[in-house]
Amino acid sequence: MLGGLSRQRTAEIVSRKGFPDPLAVLAAGRIWDKDEVADWIAKHRPSKAAEE
């Protein structure tokens, strides 16, 4: 999950156009580059990026 969000909210966010593609899809789930996700958050939710 993203930063303590619900699974439903996380699914909404990762399906948005422009969200980084996962580096890998494993049986346990998708794996993203932390820096790419942090950059995306900073661009789309500046107030949330400042909290981390």
Q: Domain containing 22: what range?
A: 7-51
What is the pLDDT confidence band of residue 5, given thresholds at 50, 70 and 90?
Answer: confident
Q: Break the chain down into helix, strand, coil percent, rounded to 5.
A: 50, 10, 40
What is the pLDDT confidence band of residue 50, given thresholds at 50, 70 and 90?
Answer: low
Q: How many domains does the chain have?
A: 1
> Does residue 1 belong to any structural domain of this protein?
no
pLDDT tens digit sequence for 9-24: 889 999 999 999 999 9
pLDDT tens digit sequence for 22-49: 999 999 999 999 999 999 988 987 675 5
The two structure tokens encoding residue 26: 């494993």
> Does residue 17 belong to any structural domain of this protein?
yes
> Does residue 2 belong to any structural domain of this protein?
no
